[in-house]
Amino acid sequence: MAGVPVFGLIPKVPRAEACPEEYVLHDPRSHFHQALRRAHAALRFPRGVGTQVIMIASAAAGEGKTAFCVSLARSLALIGQRVLVIDADFYRSRVAAAFGGRDAPHIRDVVQGRVSLADAVQVDARSGAHFLPAVPERSDPQLLLQSDGFAAMMRGVRETYDIVVIDTPPVMAATDATAIGAFADTTLFLVQWGNTPRSIVGAALRFLHLCGTVVDGIILSQVDLRRQEHYDEVYDRTPTSGALPTVQASSEDRSGPTRDPHADDVRASLNPGAS
């Protein structure tokens, strides 16, 4: 992960609350809501390019990618941004369900000219965010993503929306993100905090790099803020000129002292030249 900055830490939603995409509608002052806003603010300074179209990628399934896309869109829509979420995961299409919408008409209908973009897009009544559903594809999604119709659709969404967020399938499961990345201004890579193996993250990032997709920043999802505060205290006591410490596992871990996966990620982001 050397050279890829961490743009944001998205905290876990309290157990007593709803799922993340619902929780974001409740309290705009919550840590979760503000973390989403900070992550978007960090996008303004990646490569000196536009950040209108944002692709969200991850290494594996279950890292909270769709929840992040929907939550980010709702958060920005609530402050007056014209936001569209495009479901480009043709294997586990979940955007429509997360918004509580229908799965048709969908993205293939637009790309193949059966319906207009305006007729296919649905509106989330609770936030004002717009979304374009998808359904599982029987044929190779690459044929759809590399078509003239898909390129035309992407030109159309740029003319209509302030921000376009694209949900994609996991990089280690499908290559679709490499085709979609050609239409994005910036790419965020979601990593589930303390869970996704560093080797898997590294393999996915190397694959995207080899395919010419530039990852501008990493978002750590489902962060346990209480454990994160412990890491912050440790780092605050560490001289800036020295090596970052090894963070020991808590007593509730099954085995003896070990390095926490998130500690490695933080070290890589703070000392990019050391990886």
Query: What is the model's pLDDT at position 228?
Result: 56
Query: What is the model's pLDDT at position 247?
Result: 27
Range scoring the smallest mean pLDDT among 77-81, 166-170, 253-257: 253-257
pLDDT at 156 over 90: yes
What band does 119 get if pLDDT is binned at 50, 70 and 90?
very high
CB atoms within 10 A of CB 275: 13
Is 258 a domain residue?
no
pLDDT at 125 over 50: yes
Q: What is the mean pLDDT of residues 220-230?
A: 75
Q: Let me know how long the chain is.
A: 275
Is 33 a domain residue?
yes
In sequence order, the 6+-apart residues with CB closer than 8 A to the CB of 199 are none
Query: What is the model's pLDDT at position 72?
Result: 94
Is 268 a domain residue?
no
User: What pTM was computed for the model?
Assistant: 0.80
- Bridge pairing between strands 130-132 and 122-123: antiparallel
Range scoring the smallest mean pLDDT among 96-100, 182-186, 267-271: 267-271
Is 194 a domain residue?
yes
More confident residue, 47 or 212: 212
Q: What is the mean pLDDT of residues 90-94?
A: 94
* Cα within 13 Å of Cα(76), Cβ side: 25
Is 247 a domain residue?
no
Query: What is the model's pLDDT at position 230?
Result: 46
pLDDT at 53 over 50: yes
Instruction: Report how many domains make up the chain.
Output: 1
- Secondary structure E strands in the chain: 6-11, 53-58, 83-87, 122-123, 130-132, 163-167, 186-192, 217-223
Measured distance CA(128)–CA(126) in Å, rounded: 6
Is 19 a domain residue?
yes
Is 148 a domain residue?
yes
Is 253 a domain residue?
no
Query: What is the model's pLDDT at position 235?
Result: 36
Looking at residue 83, which CATH number applies to its domain? 3.40.50.300
Task: Give me the domain span that covers residue 113.
Answer: 6-223
